[in-house]
Structure formats: structure tokens, C-alpha cells
A and B are shown apart, each in its own frame.
Chain A
Amino acid sequence: MNGGISMEKTQHSKSASSDTGSTFRVVDYNTTFPGVFGLHFDLPGQKVNKLDDKVMGELDAQIQKLATRSDIKALVIFSDKEGIFIAGADIQMIQGVHDKETGTKLAASGQTVIAKLEKLKFPVIAAVNGACMGGGTELALCCKMIVTSDSPSTKIALPEVNLGILPGFGGTVRLPERIGLQAAMDYILSGKTMDGQKAVKVGLADACVPAQDFKNRVLKIAADVAAGKFRSQKRAVTGTAKLQKTLLEMNPIGRAVLFSQAKKMILSRTRGKYPAPLKILELLNKQAGASRDKKLKLESIAFGELAVTDVSKRLIELFFATEGIKKQSGVPGFKLDPKDKVTRMGLLGAGVMGGGIAQLMAHRNIPVRMKDISYAGLSAGMAASSKIFAGLVKKRKLTKREADIRLGLISPTLDYSGFGAVDLVIEAVLEDMNVKKKVIKDVEPLLAKNTIFATNTSSLSVTEMATACERPENFVGMHFFNPVHKMPLVEVIRGDKTSDRAAAMIFELSKKLGKTPIVVKDGPGFLVNRLLMPYLNEASYLMAEGAPIVELDEHVLDFGMPMGPATLLDEIGIDVAVKVAKVLHQQLGARALPCDLNDKLVAAKLYGKKNGTGFYLYDSKGVRGELNPKIYSTLGVTPRSPSRAVKEEWIPRMIYLMINEAALCLHEKIAATPEDVDIGMIMGTGFPPFRGGVLRYADTVGLPAVVNKLQELSKKVGPRFTPVQPLVELAKAGKSFYSK
């Protein structure tokens, strides 16, 4: 650690009590900082510190040894990992819990160990310089004081809720004690992070010190604490804040208001699909007025209950899958030369999509030369970028000045000047094969021979487009989803001739842009649109059969999708959806025959959100209103309230078709792994994360059941439901998508 290295060495040689070679090491700082000792946490062979059984055992032993020491006047817990304090409890360990009792025991034993820090005779100080998550935060909460650094890597959170569980090492007890119930509830229910300064502001930490001189500053504070002359930076709660706190938290009526509001908010956000936030609320409510021990016991029981839920298992699997992507290069066995990174880019086509891409790049400090054929075109792109930046300023994610500098990185042009010096060109011109090929032919000769050329197509063949290239190995698909700044997925599409380098560069860039990339093989609709197509098409068939539109949308929301199919069609643009469906039909054949329902809307020029009317009505700001009162007459459909049996088939009809198509995509190696399919659908379409994705969902239902239902539907409704061979074989072999 900066500044502390030389000092520690001298200390080391003088130190008699230094104990090296294991996870924890006690260092004597007594000479320079009277009475101060450090407990250094450095998990051998790992990049991060985490709390598993073995570590907890070692910590326990260390604490017991320390308890006997009378020379310690203050103890500082340091992490020796760069950018990390403690990453939390070992999630693998939690994933292995399959019965409530084991879960409860796991939490209780962790609680017991770290609570011993509280009982030490001398003050313990957690020195948080880096990520401090979950169990790490709970350990810090057992310390008398927390000192943070002002480094941007210092992030403190209790993110357990995002994994479908709750803080089980006393976090639900000690965080409210330290920062108040209302604030604690906010952090525990959202899992959001705070930085070092915010931690002081909310009252979690006692001081925030410069990262550059972190160790010295913390040790100095520890010495002051030992000498009894430290003054906390924490501000006492006074005035209206105190009154509000008293009213809401200290009396039962206020608390009831607080809880009912929180519950209402959770239900409106999650439709009750996620048990963790509700369980957390229930727990906090039960803990009111109970003894410390009782509170901790309630927490460990609630933890056990959540740890065994399917939702938690699915969310943890998803967590591992997305973490896995962060470590991948996008091409198995291929390591990208660190020099092959995108530092400058050229962008062709400055529409709303182009503007969104430009903004994303500029936000990450990549200068963009943005080319269009007219200033009207360039204005659209500049306006789209500036609007997103203005939003970030409004939300205080950036200062006005930071946003202005980033917007200044986008340089608009009508010619191709500057394209000779870029590492990457992304084209976002009209979605038309001939137009795109012409642009490629115009631009490629101007580029350096190493420059990667990416197309942001959503439906055209990357392989075919690459036939216009002199260097097809540098050509690759980079499919952003709309709106670019919000949608987390990027499909990296490999054409037949796309090189490993090109694919890996786009994969790496996507990660740098804060997106989650998946590599897919070129094919109709790639992965996400190909799977979305049968789902939306089936929704249209259902509506054509008289399924009431609002009821269908609501039903799909209950399943956990972020929006219903009619709303989604309105969002995409019904004309676009019809066009894509036709292209996919041509390429995929009879099973993708589009329902003609949407053609009627296109004929009536009802395109959805973009022109104000589709299935629903939209106001000038694009906010969805009522169902379009003329929708049924336009469609020529009479809505019929579905029988229970009919309604029960809605989800299988839409979702099982997705599963069927996904099985084929895996078989055709469009996607390499089931994880890629599931991440793609969750990140690209909002498929419910708690279901783990399309294939996890299929595995949960059971493949034989899926196949049987499809066979039944193929007889009853139509041959498009015929289960595909790879799916039938998997089911027959008694396997699941995820079984190895």
C-alpha cells in the first residue's frame, strides 16, 4: 500500500509478534503509533479477500489470541489486496446450502465469530480502502469504528438482496443501529453502494481519508483513538432530520408507516416475484424491540429460509455467469494483445442509435469521429448524445463540465477525414444490405489494415455483409440494443471469416463500455431476436384468437417479463417487428410464419410508441396511456375473456416456443453455452432474472414436460409447436440444458 511500505518494513524487523504465512497477520505499529497494532487480511492465492469456513476459523483463532493481549490499545483491520477490503462471504458456500437449517447454522456461526471483534477490550478499526461487500461490511460493522478512503474503488454495500438472500452476519441488526432504520432499510433493500465520503455522511464511517496516504492516516487515527483524543467526522443527527427519525423509527405507528410504504414500493417493483426484499422487511419488523441476541437469531433463521429458495439459486447462478463473462476474452483460448484496444473510433450514421453509441463511447473517454451525409443527420446524433449526457447531469452522475468535455469528444463530419487513424469503425446506417455494403466499400479502403469494422445490424447477415470487404477477417457484428445507454447487452456476432482478434476486441470494448457481451454465430436474428420472434409472434396469434390485450400483457408481467408483448411491440415499432418477422420467416421457414395480425396495424399506420398509437395510446413524451380504443376494430378481433384452461396455455405457447428455438440455437452453435443464451435473454429482453433465463426455466419445468406440452400444442394449435430434434433428444436422455 502506498506510503506504508517502507514504514511497515522497518516495523516488521522490529516486530516480535509478526506472524506471517497465513491469511491473517498481526503487525506491530507501536513504535511510531503508540499502542497501535494491525490485523492484515490477505487470503493466500486469491485476488480478493472473502469469508469462507476456513477463513472464519482462522479469524476466530486470531481474535482469541488477540483477546489476551494487554499491549494493544487499538487494532486496525487492513486488507492487503489492491482495491478490495473484503468482497463478502463466499457465495459458492451459500449456493451449496440446500436446507434451511444448514443456512441458519452458516449465518449463526459467522455471526458468532465476527461478534467477538465487538467484545475485545480495545477498540477495533476497520480500514476500508476498496470494495467492501456483504459479509465484509458486516465484519466492519462489528468494529468500533470504520475509516474509509476517498478512492473511487471504495464501495460499501450489503448487496445480498440482489442474490435473493439477506445479510446474515448481523448486517440487518448492526446497520440500523449505526445509521438508523430508514437509511439502513434503503441500503439493505436496494443493495446499493456508497463511497467512502458517503459512508461518513450517512454515519457508517467515522472518517474518510486520502487513499494516497491511507495507511498512515488510519494509523494516526488509531493512535489518537488509543490516546482517547480522536474526534469523529460523523455529524450528529439534529433538527428536522432528528424529528423525522424519531417519528418514523422510534414509535410503532411511524414504523408501521415506514414498513407499509416500503412494502408497497417493493410489490409495485417486483410484483412479489422476489422473496428476499419482502423477507427483509418482515425480519426488520420482527426485530423491533427484541434483544440483540434475539435479533441475530431471527436474522439467521430468515437467512436460512431465503438461501434455499429457487430464486436465490437462480440469481446466484446468474451472478456467476455474468462474473464469468468479465473474466472471458470472448474467444476460448484466445488472449487479446493488450495493444489491441480501441482508443479512437469512427462512427457511420448519426441517427438516434448512432448518437447513443457515440455517447456511450464518449462517456468512456473514447473520441468519436461521427460521419453522416447531412448536417440534419448529424444533428440527430448530436442531439441524441447530448440528451443522454444532460440526463446524467440531471441525475448528478456527471458534472456539467464533465459532460461537456465528453460531448466534445464527439466530432461531427460529412466526410471520412480522420477515419485513417481509428482503431474501430462502427456503422449504424440504414438497415439495408445494399446500403451497408456500399458504405463498407467506400470506407474500408480509407482504414488502416488493422482497423476493426463493426456493423450494428440487428437482422442482416454479417457473413454476407463481409463479402463487400477486402479484409473480412476484420469485420464483425456489434449489436447494441435500443436504447443503447440503458440496455446492458451487446451481441458480438462472428461471421464466417471474422478473426479471433476482431471478436475479442469487440468483446473487450463492450465490457469497457459497461455492457455484458455474448459472442454469437451469424444466423437469422442472431440469438436474441431469433428467440424473441416466436414469443412475439405467438402473442400475436393469441390476440388474433381473441386474447384480451391488457389481460395478456398483465399475465406476462405476472410471469416476470418487464413488459407485456403488446407493449413490447409498441416499443419496438410494429412496422419494424413485421419486417423482422418476415425476414426471419424467409430464413427459418414454416415454423416462423408470422401471424398477419400486425399487418393490419401497419396498414392503418399504427406503428406504436413512435407515432403515438399502436396497441396503446402514447402521449407526446412517449408515456403509455390507455389501450387504443379502436384497437379491436382495427384488428377485426372480438376479445373474449379466456377460460382458465385457455389462460394456462398462454405462457407455454409463448415461452415454450422460445425454449424450442433456443434448443435449436444451441444445436446450431449460434450460442456456445446455455449461460450465453440465458444471459442474452435476461440482458437483451428482460427475461425474468429470478427464473434464471429461458433455459434455466426449461430445466426447472423439466424437459420432458416441455416436450410433451409442445407435442400437445402442435396437434391442437399448429405444427409450429413441433418440438425440435435436439430438444426431444435431450429430454429422452433424461438430461437438462445445464447438465454436463
Chain B
Amino acid sequence: MTSPGDATPVKPPPSFSPGVGRSASKSRFPDEHEPTLSIDAELADTGSVSSPTPPLSATTAELRIRSASPQARSVRSSTPQLARSSFGSLFDGRFDGSEDIRSLIIRAFSPTIAVYASEDTDELIKNKGFKGGFWELLRPFGETITGKVIIRDSIGSSRAWEDYGVRFVDLKGLGRAPASRDSGRDSALAQIEEVLAQQLGSAEGSLGASLSSKDVLGFPATISLAKLFLRQLLSSTTAAPHETFGHPVASVITISSRNKAPLETLRQLYAETNTGDKRLPDWVHQEYLRYYVLVHDEDRDDITESTRLYDQMKRHFGLHCHLLRLRSSQCIVTDDDSVQVPHCEWLSPQEHLSGAGEAETLVDLGTDGTPYLFDSDVSAIKSFIRELTVQSVIPFMENRVAVWNDQVASRRRGISGRFMSMSRRWAGFGSSSRSGIGGSGGATSGNYDTEHNFYRQDTPEAILRKMADYAFMLRDWKLASSTYEMIRSDYGNDKAWKYHAGAHEMCAVSMLLNPLAMSAKIKLESIDQMFETACYSYLTRCSDATHALRCLALAVELLKSRGGSATESAARWAMRVMDFGLVGSVGQILFMERVAACYASKTPVGGAKWGARRRKAGMWSIFAADQWLKAGKPTLASACLEEAERLYADVLDADGVFPMPEMQSFIDNLRHAVKVEYLQARGFDTQDEPAVDDALGTEEISEKLDKRNHRRSLIGLPAQLDAGTLMSAGPRDAEDQPNDDFERA
């Protein structure tokens, strides 16, 4: 079990196959190893109530959330968490899943592959029930590639990744949007908020049961919400000039066996990607890989014919070809070998909103909205995508990175490149030169097109950015961060603010993702500075709220996963997000929970008790609970409240009473309100509620009379470790444990 907060910095993954270890632990451990470990924790708890003895410290560090809650408290917790409390939320601290979120972030930046299919192919696929054509058929399968994907980085060492994926987009829709997008920037955020609200509504409609059981499997609702938010945020950005993640790395040109003039059609399709109205805008690099696919119709056409055609294709177009054998008839659920098409993980908020509505109408009809495919089709598509990625796309990208690194980056890194950029700086603001296509144009000053606010695709600035993005997508974060580092100041000199912001953002992100680099504090400061710059450029200079929010959200999650003192700056960034007002009301509460999670993930130093941020985490959880309640979501509020109780457990006395009277009364009121609303939402009669509450009240009051003198205090003790364990272990067990039992009885 990898403990989320501190695993990464302490032990970097082995030099090969980091993905394997991580995803294996992620998928396997929750089922098998969790129960035994939690029993251990319980044993530890009953043995010595709140004092982490040195031999136990390893376990408690890993299981910090659980070990922080002595049993007595979780049993007595007054919040009405009926079914979920015993199961889901006990685990959520550990399932908080930094590794998971890290992988989510990594997968968000995966190569884009444009799909360009001939009419007859789309026709064939539409018959199978995919309205969007070939692109829609491929899309869900591209998100996870079966098996390991081995990538070689710039220094020649290769790594295997299990969670690699590619993003299929429709070539027709690519690069067209940005003009209209600019007006709709804010609406992207509004859409995210709407998606969240929708998800919340559906969760609340079935009282959280469906949400927790269906798609999150034991994760508490809010964690999955936070993930949904992040995923939406990361997929909301479309292809833009200033970053090339949305630009196609390759395009899949497809014909079907029904085509009468196959080779001519392929040529024509290829030509259309280069010229005419399908040509991508000027800021997209045109030299992307072309991959030719022949879709063979198993049901109607002759395979020998197709094989002959395929051989011909290979002779004409080289090795980047594939023969995809699909059946043309539509598959329905009742067919023998029907397989449900997986859901798309990376739907943009817009698609989510339109798609969700569609699914609802279909649910009324009693069928699921997702189409089905034959088993043979699924395996054919999967092996096609694997072959496409492993044999063509990744080698192509590796090759491009190597070439650009050699030709462009090294020249920029060298003495003349430095001189060039310096002379450019002093040359003043040159006229925007429009050098011809193919000209490297490195020497001319001012490659930045100030009128349209982009670098042409063949300028060194654009190529370097593309190279860094390729390296990032190949998960070679070292090369990526050094390249971003190199170009970020250039963008500033050219006053290309969006590029400037993007380079700073990605530089910081790739530094944080690089598992080996950076443990020193000075580095952390420079990363903070980069996020600061990126955020300022996005917000103030470009007023691009979506990217600013993405940048800050990445900062929060990645810094949190760094552990140690980075968690505090993660919390600070989360507060900044709230302060900037980038998120709506639901997002606001989610970020409150993130602050709590950040503080909760800060572990005590060594065996000492100080260094944790339990009280801060608890405070933010309480505030989040309050806000959930105000938003009318008592289920989530009670989850937060319980989380807060657990966080507060070891800083309070065993009786769980806050020393500060006003805090106590606020929390009591909150508990009561949550309980009432929760029961009301479930349709219980709340008439008998006051009686219960009275009982609760008297219980609390009686506890207040307890003497608290034997609370362990660090201040009074000369040596915090030994004395602490000696003092607290003995008398507390004897006195407090019976008390609790007595009250419960």
C-alpha cells in the first residue's frame, strides 16, 4: 500500500516500469490487504490509545487517518451516517489517492490523434450504431491501451507504462473552435460547475447510495467529485496556439473495403489534410504522422480482396498502415458475444452536459445508452490501437523529440543561441516577420505574430514548445522541464503572455511530476514562483480563467502529492483559488475539502507528535460541512463532519469536547442541523428528534465535567518522546475506556 502523501519523495520508483508497481498496488490492495491492515491498526489503537511508540511509527504513518481515530469515537460519532459510515468513509483518508490523482493528471496530457475517415467508412460505422462515425468508435478504446507501453526517453533508458492512452479527436472539428472559444472561456467554467451540480443532484436523488456503489466503489462521494472536477477541468481546454497538447500527433486516414477507388481516396484524403478547408490553422505543426487504415467489412466483403488492397497500400504508403477487420452489422445486447463499449473517461464538460441528457432519456426506455460491440470487433480495435500507438505514434514522437532536441534545442542552448536571444532582446521590438514556410527563421527577431497572438508553427519558439510537450506526453519530464525552463523567458521577452504562462505552468508541473528531482526547499520556492507567474499571466494579462484554474488545481494536487512542506503551499494555492473566485459555489466547497485534505496529509515529523496539521484540517472540514449543509447536501455535510471528527480525534481529549466553548457550540449546532436535514431528506419524521438531541446534549455536558488534567502536553515535558509514551499509555486506558463504555451502555 502506497501511502499517498509521502511515498513519492521518499522512495522514487525503480528505474523501469514505475507504472506497474503503482497501478498494481492501486488496484489490488484495496481489496485484499486493506482488511488485515486495518485490523492491525485497530490492534494498535487498543493497545496504546494515542501514543505512537517508535516501532509502530511506520504503521501509523501509513495509516495515519485510521490510527487517529480511536474506536470509541467512531462508534460514538453522532452524525447520522447510516450505512456508509461504517464502510466508505472510514477508508477515504487512505483512498484519498494521490497516486490516483497523479495518474489522472498524467493521463490528461496524452497525445492527440486526429481521425479522418472517408464517407464510406463513416457510413459503415454508423450502421453499427455510432453516430459520430469511426472517430466515435475508436475514442473510448484509445483512453487505455491494453498492456504495457514502453517509451524510451532522451537519454536512452526505457520505461514501461501501464496506464498509457491516446486521445482520438475528429479532424474536422480540430482547430476550428478557438475563434468562437474565446468568447466562451468563462462558459467552460460555468459548464464544469453545471456538470458538478448535475452529478451532485443525481447522487443526492438516490441518497448517495448509487454514487458510492456504482462508479466509485467505496470512495466517498466527495473524493470522486473532486476527481470529476479535476477531470472536467483538464478536458475542458481545447486546441490552442499556446500549447500543443491538443494538436494532432498523428492522423488516422481511413477508408473501408466498400470504397470503389481506394488508393485515390486515400491520396485525396491526405491532400485534404494539407490543403483546403480541412487544413489545420497556422499554429498547428503540419508534419504530423499520417497513418492509413483499411476497414474491412467482415460480413459483406471478401477478405482476399482486402488483403490484396492492403498489400497495395503498404507498397504505396509505407509501413504506417493497418487492416482493421470489423463486422458491419449492429450488435445488440442479446447477441452471444456482445461487449459493452466502455464509457469515455475524458468527456469535455460540454459533451458531458449534452451526453448526460441523452442518457437520461434512454434510461426511461429501459435500455442503457451505451452501444454494444462484438467481442471480435473489440479485440480488433484494441490491437489496432495498440499497434498504432506502440509501433507508429510513440516511435514517431521519440524521433521528433530527438531531432528537434538535436537541431533546434541544442542550437538554442549553445553559445550562439544565447547570443541570438540576447541580441534579440536588445534589438528592440522588431517587426513581425512572416518568414516563408520551411524557413527556420531563427535569426529574425520577433517571430511572434502580434496581430493574431501566436507563433507560426515553424518558428523555433513554437517548435521548442512542441518538443517540450512531446517530451511531456512521452513522460520524459526531465527533458520537458528543462526545455520549458529554456523557453519560458523567451516568451516573456516577446510579450507572448499566454505562451509565457503556459511554459511556466508546464515547467512547474513537469518538475513536480519528475519523481527523482527536487527535495530541497529552494526548489519548492522556485516552483511556487513559477505557478505565481503562470497564474498572473493567465489571469491578469490574458484573462483566461479556465487555464488559470487548471494551473492552480494542478499546483494543489501535485504539491499535495509531494508531501512534507509542499502540502502547506498546496493548501495555500487552494485558498488562492477560493480567493480569486475562479470556482462556483460547489467548486468552492470542493476546494475547502482539498485544503482539509492537504493539511490532513501532512504527517508528523519522525515519531514526534508535532508537525501535523490536524487542527487545521479539522477546521476546514468543519467549514466544508457547514457549506455543504447550506448548499442543501446533508449527506456530504455529514461525511465532512465525520472526517473532521476523525481529524480532531487525537488533538482533543478522549471525551471529544473542544476546549473552546464557542467552537463547541458551533459544532454541536452543526451536528444537530446536519442530523435533522439528513433525516428529513430520507423522509424520516423529525418530531422525535429533540428527544434524541437532548440525550446527546446531556451526554456532552456530563463529559465536560471530566477532569482533563491527564491530557498529555508536549510543552510541559522536557523530552517529548519517551515521557510522552510513558505518561499517556497507562492511566488513560484505565480511566477513559470504562467511561466510554458506561456512557454507551
- The answer to whether A and B belong to the same complex is no
